[in-house]
Amino acid sequence: MDQFVSGDHFQMQPWHRTLVRHLFHPDPRRIDISCARAAKAPQIPRLLYKYREFNNQHLEALQDNVLWAARPNSFVDKTDTGIRSRSPDFKLIEDEVRRKYRVLSLSASCSSQGMWEKYGGQSRGFCIEYDFFSPTEDVLDRDRRRISQIRDKLYPVFYRKRHPRTLDNYVKAWMLTTASRNADTLNPFFPIFFCIQKQASFREEQEWRVVEIREDPAYELRIAMPPIRRVIIGSCADEKHALILADYLRRKNIPLHRAVSNKEH
């Protein structure tokens, strides 16, 4: 495990490596959830963002303050959540992850030009800012518990430089314990590691992901989100859309800001 989380394979900080060692090792005897949480919790950004195109579906989700987690096999980027390998075991675990797991992608940045272009309707959409650590007095007890549960399922994305060959052995070991159906020898967190990987070229996205498992492949996961702190409308958004957003957000007492394009700096 120490070998494939080295700097030769992934762009990781020390706390990333601690998280991986204590949560994603295929051997459940190595799991230390308390250590993993202690490493991750201080690193979770208070503010996380979701870029949106301007359409009725996204406006309704904004109104209800919900987002939908997607199956990895529905991602536009087909290399997402996968690692190239000649091992047939990789294909098996990849298929399981893409079929059973649900992933909600968020970003720690609201100023990524690439994200605005790709997910924000070419800067004509909007970006929602969620507060994952709202002051206690602003959040009901049940909502505070719900947000805490979301944070528990929130993971940083690891940006890989190249395929870690030593991971083949860990995948094989995990597949063998899965085949034996011995829950005592199976780390249920291990497949999550495949849901939080992307190629290094996407590093500017500064992505964090909520990951959950659902056995029913047809199940659509609706996630009630933390409080919205503000909404940022794209620098190229139509004034009509800006007025629609402003009118709605005014009733919710949510500020609306406009993004500044790189050309305006």
CA 263, CA 180: separation in Å to the nearest integer? Answer: 58
CA 78, CA 29: separation in Å to the nearest integer? Answer: 33
User: Are the CB atoms for 250 and 225 separated by under 8 Å?
Assistant: no
Task: Give strand pairing partners of 11.
Answer: 159
| pLDDT score recorded for residue 263 | 58
How far CA 129 is from CA of 9, 72, 117, 167, 214, in Å, comes to 32, 23, 17, 36, 27
List the pLDDT tens digit at each of the 265 positions of the chain.
555 455 455 678 889 989 988 998 777 778 899 999 999 999 999 999 999 999 999 999 999 999 999 887 777 665 566 555 556 666 666 677 777 889 999 999 999 999 999 999 999 999 999 999 977 566 677 788 889 999 999 999 988 776 555 566 566 666 665 555 555 556 778 788 888 888 888 889 999 999 988 766 666 788 999 999 999 999 999 999 999 999 999 989 999 999 987 655 4
SS3 at position 165: coil
Residue with tokens 């949480």: 37
Query: Which amino acid would we find at residue 231?
Result: V
CA 107, CA 116: separation in Å to the nearest integer? Answer: 11
CA 229, CA 242: separation in Å to the nearest integer? Answer: 17
